[in-house]
Amino acid sequence: MKRQLTLTTQPIDEPALLAQRSLSDGMGAVVCFLGVVRGTQGDASIRALEYEVFQRMAEHQINLLFDEVAQRWPIESVRLVHRIGLVQVNEPSLWVEVVAPHRGEAFAACQWLIDEMKRVVPIWKKPVMDKT
Amino acid sequence: MRVTVCFYSYFKDLTGCAQAMETLPDGSTLDALFQQLMLHFPKLAGMKKSTLMAVGVDYQDRTCVLQEGDEVSLFPPVQGG
């Protein structure tokens, strides 16, 4: 399984990521997920989230998750991009792409990967409140 | 033995630092380290149940026996995505 992991302070460039997509003739499903910063947290309005990462451990843990994806499903490739630092409301903080022969395994692998990432990967976010 | 302890997220606010050095008896566990840290950083006591701990880049439970020079990380539940 091909894998690509990017933890970056730069905005997620969806057109560039789509242009880099490669899939073989046997692939019939591409599932893409985009996580976007919401403008509210509870009842409060926020203007951004500040993401912090323990980089070495995050890379290690995500690669362990990729290993498990490869064992569980016949996935051809997985790519994951996570923003670090300040991410404004409405901007994407997470982009995940899973390429597989069929939609069932593509959806399942993508859902599982995101759920597990939120459970074990050492990334934290702190709301930046509106000034008003 | 001496170990390096790194704090992440709001644990840095609770302890007032990002990193500390701790000296422990040989054969000490992560639990013993946490007990010692609560003496040095009392605000950590309130986080005892929810604290996640890693040695190097792998999660470990509190029975893990530490080695000289280990890098231990303490942090709250993760929130990626």
Per domain, the residue ranges of chain A are 2-19+26-129
What would the pLDDT profile of A7-37 be if each residue is shown by its tens digit? 999 999 999 999 999 999 999 999 999 999 9
* Residue A9 to residue A92: CA distance in whole angstroms: 12
Class for the domain spanning A2-19+26-129:
alpha beta
By C-alpha distance, the chain B residue nearest A122 is B78
CATH fold of B2-75: Ubiquitin-like (UB roll) (3.10.20)
Return left, alpha or beta for A57; rule: phi > 0 is left, psi -120 to 50 is alpha, else beta.
alpha
State whether residue B17 is helix, strand or coil. coil
By C-alpha distance, the chain A residue nearest B55 is A57
Q: Which of A38, A30, A125 is nearest to A83 (CA)?
A: A125
By C-alpha distance, the chain B residue nearest A83 is B81
Q: Are B57 and A121 within 8 A, CB to CB?
A: no
Q: CB–CB of B53/B30 below 8 Å?
A: yes
pLDDT at A132: 59
Q: CB–CB of A79/A115 below 8 Å?
A: no
- Encoded amino acid at A24, one letter: S
Q: What is the ipTM of this complex?
A: 0.95
DSSP one-letter string for A40-94: EETTEEEEEEEEEE-HHHHHHHHHHHHHHHHHHS--SEEEEEEE-EEEETTSEEE
- Does the pTM of the predicted model rise above 0.90? yes
What would the pLDDT profile of B10-61 be if each residue is shown by its tens digit? 999 999 999 999 999 999 999 999 999 999 999 999 999 999 999 999 999 9
- Judged by a CB distance cut-off of 8 A, whether residue B51 touches chain A is no
- Encoded amino acid at A119, one letter: R
The tokens describing B10, both together, are 């709001």
pLDDT at A130: 80
Q: Which of A69, A127, A61 is nearest to B52 (CA)?
A: A61
Q: How far is A50 from chain B (nearest CA, A)?
A: 11
Chain A residues lying within 8 Å of B6, measured CB to CB: 54
